[in-house]
Amino acid sequence: MRSPNRQKKLILGALKFAGLCVLLLWSVHLFGLMTDNSFSHLGIYPRKAEGIKGIFLAPLVHDNFEHLISNTFPFFVLTGVIYYFYPKVAAPSFGIIYVLTGFIVCLFARPVYHIGASGVVYGLLSFVMFSGFFRKNLKAIALALSVTVLYSGYFYGLLPLKDDISWESHLFGAMVGTLTAYIFKEVIEEDEIKKAPSWANEISNQEYFLPRDTFHKTKAEKLLEKQMEEHMRKMEEGGSNFIN
């Protein structure tokens, strides 16, 4: 169980990181509008040398405000969720999802520019969902179910329904998020550690009217044990009559 101070620290840290990420997305877009520049060329162009930079830059670039707004809320929420509920693995998980998703898109997606943070969003969503499946504890399962219900409509984004949507980024992001959840499934978070109930120590420390092993042996076993002890005692007494 986390202490109140630990809870507060994690909440502030999660909000700070998620807020800075969203601020970066909006700053890039607003800068492009103010300078009348389109940053689409910074996206991922699969199997071209010029598209490699997009692995790192594409999630920061959005086509319009509608595109940016559609990614802002889930990006903020899901980033905050993994940094609060999975602080031990949040940073490496985020890094793997961010970079590996872009790398796979660069290898296998259609030969067009792929931009936007939706691939990362799908990776984070998949990570939270499958962490519940792999970890199999109540907290992770409840969190996974909540996220699944909240973002159930996102499953349609995995299908090639529209040519102007990078469904490849969504699909590969979801795959990478699932893989990342599996990689870190054995890393136990602080609030996942099972502690003995408070009454366990009380039982171990209390006094008993009869010895604890009173009913561990049958009457015949106790009689045999007593006879063996008596026999050993007589042998020792008999042996004491002899000297070397």
Selection from 79, 62, 102, 86 nearest residue 17 by Cα: 79
C-alpha to C-alpha distance for 42 and 51, rounded to whole angstroms:
7
List pLDDT tens digits, range 150-179.
Answer: 888 888 899 898 888 999 999 999 999 999
pLDDT of residue 243: 47
pLDDT of residue 151: 87
- Per-residue pLDDT band for 214 (boundaries 50, 70, 90) equals low
C-alpha to C-alpha distance for 181 and 74, rounded to whole angstroms:
18
Name the average pLDDT for the chain: 87
Q: Are 68 and 29 in contact (CB under 8 A)?
A: yes
Residues 6+ apart with CB under 8 A from 87: 10, 13, 189, 190
C-alpha to C-alpha distance for 160 and 196, rounded to whole angstroms:
50
The answer, yes or no, to whether residue 149 has pLDDT greater than 90, is no
DSSP string for 131-177:
HHHHH--HHHHHHHHHHHHHTGGGGGGGS---TTS-HHHHHHHHHHH
Task: Name which residue leads in pLDDT, 193 or 114.
Answer: 114
List pLDDT tens digits, range 38-70.
Answer: 899 999 999 999 999 999 999 999 999 999 999
Average pLDDT over residues 106-129: 96
Q: Are 102 and 120 in contact (CB under 8 A)?
A: no
Any idea which residue has 């499946």 for tokens? 133
| pTM attached to this predicted model | 0.79
Structure tokens at 241: 């009559």
- Per-residue pLDDT band for 79 (boundaries 50, 70, 90) equals very high
The answer, yes or no, to whether residue 92 has pLDDT greater than 90, is yes
